[in-house]
Amino acid sequence: MAMTTNLLPLSSGILTIYFIYSISVLEAIDMKVLSLTEPWAALIKDKKKFIETRSWQTNYRGELFIHASSTKIPKYAFEDTELMIIVGDSKMNYGYIICKCNLVDCVYMDENFYRTN
């Protein structure tokens, strides 16, 4: 069955993906998506990165899709030898949703957080 995908961004970080089938059935699926630049998105996909920091908090817990933005790897990242060793031969997938994960917690990272972890 032929299928095309069209991504339409909505407010508050939600994307609606419409799957259009050859028999003209239109089905919409809402999902939570977090967009990251590479190589950080690939590191989550490859289970090498487990924490993502943001300036905002969320009460959402559950299924989350990781989107590798179309922004290319920043030049300074290539100079970070430790990062490049971790990245290794991970495939960069610019502009695609590359994996699904679970958001299990959202914590405020202050001095106390760093002392206890």
Nearest CA to 45 among 13, 110, 92? Answer: 92
Indicate the residue type of 2. Answer: A
pLDDT given at position 27: 56
Per the DSSP assignment, residues forming a β-bridge with 20 are 4, 26
pLDDT given at position 43: 92
pLDDT given at position 29: 67
| Cβ density class 35-70: b for 16+ within 10 Å, e for less | bbbbbbbbbbbbeebeeeeeeeeeeeeeebbbbbee
For residue 94, what pLDDT band results from cuts at 50, 70 and 90?
A: very high
Give the count of domains, the chain: 1
pLDDT digits (tens, 9 = 90+) for 14-64: 443 443 333 444 555 678 899 999 999 999 999 999 888 888 888 888 889
Do 14 and 34 form a contact (C-beta atoms < 8 A)?
no
Residue 29's domain comprises 3-116
Total residues found in the chain within this entry: 117
